[in-house]
Chain A
């Protein structure tokens, strides 16, 4: 590989990244076109694309996503998500603030184990129903749920596509992920709940007579197939036990998810249109295209050079590096699609770690990258896919949310998330270690 190859690969990548960021073109088409351009010269060959762990498609990520999408497709047929959301809304006795808090908690817990977009798509219809019954605007509730979905996504290895990319690329275990990210996520979530009355003043005034309408909702009717619910419950328990023990049982999370998906498809007896209903083939192709482009940057030495340049800038100082990664990640993820950012930064941080002086606790760089990439998505209405989805739902439901409506609140949540993340990383990995 010579300098020309590196310049060619970097140019293709930067143009593709810019086109993806503008969102004026189909991001999958752009990623695949960029990947195809990497085959010329050639920058990468088929062996490097399909079989290399360093430069190829990360099949663990693709199949972990596919497995979780199939599992979600089957589980959503049971109606359990609607049951939990309505049950939670009724436990709040009709208080809009308590309803928002409980729906946010349901969303955060859901998105820790499911894809963020899937979680908000499941919770939003129930939110609209409850808000219509209470005759309050659904916009504050939907915005709060988008925040919660993004925050919850940072808690586990399977909570967010970026968590999957970084966690898998860094070979982080499920347990290690949740024990290191969980406390930070809980702190950010707790502060978000405390901030709700200030973030959405006037959103919680409701006519007491409307409360009876919410209490009259019958959540038990939401469960459409009890046998399938029990089957899903058992398989989900096995799958999450598999995630927790994947190092001990020598099975990557991707295989655990695919095995769980296969078992669910087999025992549920559902038709293909149901068990594939939540599978986003375009997203999987988008990821494949991204991995090929990033692999070409690794192959041509661009990633290595970037890692060395960053190392030179921080002089190998771990704390400075953590601040740099966290700050840049928060900022980038707030404005551009954080999936390509995570795909690019994972090999950079991977090559960066050996340059850190005494890198005994160098996993802290991964935690900084995850917190910045996932939590930074709350900054603007286009910072994360979940935000874009809720803005669309709010528009269709007659409670439009403008870019500024979202961003002025997102900026507050993101600023607080940044401070909490920085403090958490400093105390846990520099003061207490």
Chain B
């Protein structure tokens, strides 16, 4: 089985789109990540794992001193997502561009799994003719591997 046989349609977000909208997309469809594209190219620019977004709702001072998470009250914690107001997807990406978890359309399951494992990404974007063809999630990959 090749990557193009395995991939599926997946929500794609523009790099300068609203961060809160992206979070809603992740939450409503229970996704474990999003593929990010730019205005100028149809190729994937980055993959934003949900865990990276979760990190963004944690205040910086709590990341520096994890003990402070417990002193905050329930109401303070419930408003954690407000930190994302006015931010864009670009703000949530690492400052230095990372390797993109990308597979070619004719890659095998092992090749896709290798990219996923090496980059610790919950999903891999499949590219054909320089354009995003679809996305393979970890669960989809494992299901395919079991069938074989």
**A218 and B71 form a contact (CB under 8 A):** yes
**B71 and A221 form a contact (CB under 8 A):** yes
Contacts of A125 in B (CB 8 A): 61-62, 64-65, 68
- Does B130 reach chain A (CB closer than 8 Å)? no
- Does A397 reach chain B (CB closer than 8 Å)? yes
If A213-B76, A217-B72, A222-B71 touch, does A124 touch B59 (CB 8 Å cutoff)? no
Contacts of A222 in B (CB 8 A): 67-68, 70-71
Chain B contact patch, size range: 10 to 19
What's the Cα separation between A61 and B61 when bound, in Å? 32
If A79-B67, A129-B68, A224-B67 touch, does A217 touch B73 (CB 8 Å cutoff)? yes
What's the Cα separation between A218 and B72 when bound, in Å? 7
- Does B60 reach chain A (CB closer than 8 Å)? yes
What's the Cα separation between A31 and B59 when bound, in Å? 37
What's the Cα separation between A221 and B73 when bound, in Å? 10
What's the Cα separation between A86 and B71 when bound, in Å? 9
What's the Cα separation between A124 and B62 when bound, in Å? 11
Annotate B64-96 by CB proximity to A: 1 below 8 A, 0 otherwise.
110110111101100000000000000000000
**B60 and A397 form a contact (CB under 8 A):** yes
Min CB distance B19 to A, Å, is: 16
Min CB distance A89 to B, Å, is: 11
**B60 and A396 form a contact (CB under 8 A):** yes
**B71 and A128 form a contact (CB under 8 A):** no
Contacts of B71 in A (CB 8 A): 82, 86, 129, 217-219, 221-222
Residue of B nearest to A78 (CB): B67
Min CB distance A197 to B, Å, is: 26
The residue in B59, B64, B71 that gathers the most chain A C-beta atoms within 10 A of its C-beta is B71
Contact of A132 among B59, B65, B70 (CB under 8 A): B59
A and B contact pairs by CB, cutoff 8 A, 8 listed: A121-B64, A124-B64, A125-B65, A128-B59, A213-B76, A217-B71, A218-B70, A224-B67
The 8 closest A-B pairs by CB, nearest first: A125-B65, A125-B61, A128-B61, A221-B70, A79-B67, A125-B64, A216-B73, A221-B71
- Residues on B facing A (Cβ under 8 Å): 59-62, 64-65, 67-68, 70-73, 75-76
